[in-house]
Structure 1
Amino acid sequence: MSQLCLDLRELPQRSGATLQRHVTYTVGEEWTTPVAHITPGVELDMDISLQAIDQGVLAHVRTRVPAEAECVRCLDRVDLTRDVDLYQVFYLPDERDKLVADGDEDAAYEPVIEGDAIDLTPVLRDATVGQLPLQPLCSEDCLGLCSTCGEPLRDLEDDHHHDVVDPRWSALAGLLGEVKETT
């Protein structure tokens, strides 16, 4: 059973009733995008409010999530923090089925109450990963890497350059050396 599988038996079954929880959740598997991730073992302190509604339960989750990324320009590590403020309805199975029957195709993908519990893990993961940047930067003015030697441009002299000979002219470069020797 997930740490974020919350028992609803303490939540009164009348619309508007609320239940407050403070939960510490340890991320069990890496939550990731191609350039950023939340490491397994990270502990998230969460304030959770559950409110009974006619269709099921409205969950409100607030937490702060530390993440790591790689700067897309210089490849340095970037530490990120994202504030997550998530609202999610968990439908009673019959209520979700009614929505689908009434033509709401998206309702088929909404989470449901299973037995007397809801599992916040998938919706929290999706909300958190959705906030991670697609192109993280170590700083807005990051210069990136030298395209020839791969060194960070911030560490190189202003006049840094490479004499690059077009390979199509390399045979002529050898002749130029011979001409200089004969004169």
Structure 2
Amino acid sequence: MSILVNKDTRVIVQGFTGSQATLHSEQAIEYGTNIVGGITPGKGGQTHLGKPVFDTMDEAVKSVQPNASLIFVPAPFCKDSILEAAESGIELIVCITEGVPTLDMLDVKKRVDELDLTLIGPNCPGLITPGEAKLGIMPASIHMQGSIGIISRSGTLTYEAVKQTTDLGFGQ
């Protein structure tokens, strides 16, 4: 059962060619997540992990029609990255980055609410629909398909709750 993402979710990764985005995008692709490309300004026209790289979200939207964004950019650039995704009509924005300035997020929250979009994060482990799609940094191996939704501000507490429900035979 999925609420926000499934195997058909079309994911674009912002900050795609950076080391953390590369690591977690590789894992997501291996998991079966439908990553349709990535954004790294100045690297548009290249490919990375077999996927196209774009300079801007507008270019990506026109070319590969993503409906979700996974953000791995440094904290000072998060506000612009989130707003770029929002203004391009991305319905679900997941921001992994920690240390994003609070005042930046006040502006972001206002705009995301005005556009009626969903923002998860920043400073979160992401989200997963077991067996379908993984957008984030959580270990896939501890998840099991089921009907329990688990959400937390803390990655470690999330992983513990997931592990315990999985061990008891319940899935997420």
The structure carrying a bigger strand percent of its residues is 1
Q: Verify same fold: TM over 0.5.
A: no
* TM-score, normalising length: structure 1: 0.20
* TM-score, normalising length: structure 2: 0.21
The structure carrying a bigger helix percent of its residues is 2
Structure index of larger Rg: 1
